Chains A and B, each alone.
Chain A
Amino acid sequence: MTNNLKISYKNKSALKNLDYFSQNILLLSDMFEKYFKQNIVCHFQIQACEGFEFEIGNNFIATNILPSQYQNIYSSENNSIILRFFCNTSKRLSTKNINNFYTLLKKSANSPLFFVTPYENSHKEESSYVIDSKFEVRLHISHDGLDLNIFNYNEKKDFINSLFQQILSIFNNKSINNYNIYHENVNLSLPENKQKNNSFLDKEIIETIEKAKDFMNKGDCYLANLTSTIPLNEKTYFISMTHFITAWLKIKSRYGIYYHDMKVGLSCFSPERFIYSHDNKMTTEPIKGTLKSNSNIPTLSDAKAIWADKKEIYEHTLVVDLMRNDLNLVCQAGSVHVYRPFYARIAGKLIQMQSSILGTLKMDKTLGDCLEAMLPAGSISGTPKKRVCEIISQLENVKRGYYTGICGILEENGDFDSTILIRSVYKGERGVYCGVGAGITTLSNAKSEYEEFLIKLNSFLHAIESPV
């Protein structure tokens, strides 16, 4: 690897440097889009994890100190931002047979693989797909500056060298701050009848929530995530990569993931990691509980407000036990630990309650094995999962499609990361759509659940609608 570019620029934080380099990133994106058209995947991640630690006391078997055997799990992560552009991609697999998808992800790969799979009730409607690439342009942004590397998996050297020269010219251009990227003017809004606050909260939703509560009173389940997908006004239009990146630079969601071809598309602003593995140590970081701060940056009093909400704590407790159970399916007995439970993570103006559950993979367990054992993800289904999935299928009148599925990257060495597909726009068999949902428990109030729907929806949709 010889193509390396380093730009030192000290700033208060990696996020500030993301702003500082944003024009370069957009120019890069614009260039890549012209070169690779639909043969490119963006996978961005903000690794900084800021927020407030919950005081565990003697109330939970958990720790706020990373257990010693897991010291290395986050070692490749720090307070930086990683932007990965997988270029000259090709589809390795596109299938409605989920077993073929798992089988492929049980094997090792020669280059990182990008994978996407819908929620389980939609396996027969939407395809699971796996994409490989000929090379990768990886940007690493920290408070110190930017580091760009090209990883060649199977591309002609000459091409990479010439591309690198063009990349250099983008970063050497001092006057870029005045450069205006072309933007499509597009209105990706919800259909009008869904826009007004209370029309969305129609009788149907209240009835569905009440039905779910009936199941819970009878002991059939304790927590059910009920969702709905909504077709977008422009059924065939899918935003361009540069448009997506412009929106992401504004939203700065933990993950920013984009792919688009003739058949499928994904523009993902998800805050939630599903499973991550490094050196056979793994973690899952479920989110349950969202609160919108009245201040620009959430404060400790916002964190205290969410911890004081018993419904949120109970619901989150259920999800942590559920994810411990699911990790125990693929991890060595006794290795599963709860780390930083009920952490009030700052995500823009929102507080997201998040816990980490750590475990050591059993011998020879691969990404494919983990997905096969652990999907659908606990935080978007409920408990007990098997029964609750039957209830979800019965109560939800629209299939979820890609919404609440997962996507991620499998590295050549077997490490992986994955993201829950929420707060995203999808393109699939039914056109372009998005989804929203909320966890329903016996304590749920239809109106406040509905408000949570809206907070989540607004957290990304507005930014896509007006990117500039």
Chain B
Amino acid sequence: MNTAFWLITACLLMLVGMIWLALAKPVHWKQVLGAQANYGRHPVKALQRAGAISLLLSALACLAADHPSMAVLVWIMLLALSTFITAMILSWRPHWLQPLITVRRLTQS
């Protein structure tokens, strides 16, 4: 597999992971679901676990793409980029994140 594929994979895994970690926080859960947040359970642990695994997989994708010394830098910088993007989506377009919660709910049901 080529470097570009692994880098894009790392980027997407990191973004999804950060979004799940953000959704594990009640304030952001409510931001995304609005009034629906009052119905049903908030799967905090599941979201945290999914987020952590996604970040770990992202690190592995970085290692698949580059020399380990470079992969560390890419991973740390992707962490910054993904956190910033997540914060911006939560601020301006929180409803965009509803599909990710749906995926979690489907996997739980």
Same assembly: no
